[in-house]
């Protein structure tokens, strides 16, 4: 394998077409403060550590990994809901990191988010009409009764729901309102932060289908945050796998699920249920040992080595490389769109799911 070019983190954009979102070496560290008044920095939580990611126009890139690996922090840093420590973020060619307060506020109409919890993301004191109208008012856009009814119709809600309060809706209906709020001003880019994880399984498919229909109708570009790989395989065009603040593998959806190269990705995919009892009994589940390391004190070199089941099979020289040298995203031989952050990914057995 050879190291990838920057295109290896892309989303498979059309030839000659620039991606909508370009993220380069994004870092977010949270200070740990000590001392009598809690003012003295005593360390940092390395929540996001040098992520590079491109998202093509009209496509969905999924960011997956265990809880606490930095997925939501990455999304919020991209939108500058929290300020990144360093890195570059470009949205449709605009340098988001260089925007001042006023410019960033105007830019927010082009980048929106649907939050995970539909119960906490809507103001309980406002009607649905007020919640949706607020978005137009903030950006000086005209809003009428037909504007709100058309918006509700797009997400599958009746016009009479506009004058109800959030507590009168089910979780799935509230999430539809959250989606309506996000798409109100025709944004170029939408972050979907685990939009179905808080919903019943029977409702999840409806919301996923709605998101796909809206993407086709409005040419939306999604960054889809999730830990459910079954949902990811249905909706994503491309998948980036995160572990302890870093992307350890990125590839087109089918390529990643059929030919995972990083041992962490293989473990995740081995846990995805197969709807065929005979095949499910035949395959071997990979169970990771130990816990995720503390992001305030991550392992040296490869961050996954403390849980890698094949680390101990390496020679002393090869193991030392894992201990001392953080692996970059290597390009998988013969596949320029597939990157894996493992020095010895070519030695791993491929787990098929």
Question: Given this model, what pLDDT does residue 35 score?
Answer: 64
Confidence at residue 68, expressed as pLDDT on a 0 to 100 scale: 87
pTM: 0.88
pLDDT at 353: 32
pLDDT for residue 182: 96
Residue pair 352/270 in contact by the 8 Å Cβ criterion: no
Gap between the Cα atoms of 124 and 132, Å rounded:
13
Classified as helix, coil or strand, 227 is coil
The pLDDT > 90 percentage for the chain reads 67
When computed from its CA atoms, the radius of gyration of the chain, rounded to whole angstroms, is 21
What's the pLDDT at 9? 53
Q: How many CB atoms are closer than 10 A to CB 80?
A: 16
Instruction: Please identify every stretch of the chain with a pLDDT value under 70, giving residue numbers as ranges.
Output: 1-16, 35-38, 276, 279-282, 346-353
- Predicted confidence at residue 3, as pLDDT, reads 44
Helical (H) or strand (E) element with 265: helix 263-270
Q: What pLDDT score does 274 carry?
A: 73
Please report the pLDDT score of residue 291 as a whole number: 86
Whole-number Å distance between alpha carbons of 96 and 79: 8
Predicted confidence at residue 37, as pLDDT, reads 64
Taking only the tens place, the pLDDT of each residue in 218-235 is 999 999 999 889 899 999
HSE of 118 in the Cβ direction (CA atoms, 13 Å)?
Answer: 29
pLDDT at 285: 77
Q: Copy the structure tokens of residue 249.
A: 């593998």
């Amino acid at each position: 394998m050879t190291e990838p070019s920057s295109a290896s983190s892309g989303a498979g954009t059309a030839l000659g077409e620039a991606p909508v979102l370009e993220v380069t070496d994004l870092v977010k560290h949270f200070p740990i403060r000590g001392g009598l008044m809690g003012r003295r920095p005593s360390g940092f939580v390395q929540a996001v550590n040098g992520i590079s990611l491109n998202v093509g126009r009209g496509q969905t890139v999924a960011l997956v990994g265990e809880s606490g690996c930095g997925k939501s922090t990455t999304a919020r840093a991209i939108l500058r809901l929290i300020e990144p420590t360093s890195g570059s973020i470009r949205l449709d060619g605009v340098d988001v990191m260089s925007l001042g307060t006023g410019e960033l506020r105007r830019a927010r109409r082009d980048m929106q988010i649907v939050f995970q919890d539909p119960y906490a993301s809507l103001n309980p004191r406002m009607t649905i009409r007020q919640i949706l109208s607020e978005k137009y008012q903030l950006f000086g856009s005209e809003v009428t009764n037909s504007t709100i009814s058309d918006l509700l119709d797009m997400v599958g809600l009746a016009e009479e729901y506009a004058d109800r309060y959030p507590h009168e809706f089910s979780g799935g209906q509230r999430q539809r309102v959250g989606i309506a709020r996000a798409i109100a001003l025709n944004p170029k880019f939408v972050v979907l932060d685990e939009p179905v994880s808080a919903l019943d399984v029977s409702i999840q498919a409806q919301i996923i289908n709605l998101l796909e229909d809206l993407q086709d109708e409005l040419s939306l570009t999604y960054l889809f945050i999730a830990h459910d790989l079954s949902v990811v395989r249905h909706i994503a065009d491309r998948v980036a796998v995160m572990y302890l603040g870093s992307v350890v593998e990125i590839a087109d959806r089918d390529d990643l699920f059929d030919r995972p190269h990083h041992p962490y990705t293989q473990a995740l995919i081995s846990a995805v249920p197969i709807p065929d009892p005979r095949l499910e009994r035949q395959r071997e589940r990979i169970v990771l040992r130990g816990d995720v390391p503390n992001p305030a004190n991550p392992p040296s070199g490869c961050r996954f080595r403390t849980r890698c089941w094949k680390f101990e099979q390496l020679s002393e020289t090869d193991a030392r490389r894992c201990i001392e040298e953080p692996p970059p995203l290597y390009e998988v031989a013969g596949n320029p769109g597939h990157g894996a952050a493992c020095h010895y990914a070519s030695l791993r057995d491929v787990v098929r799911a």
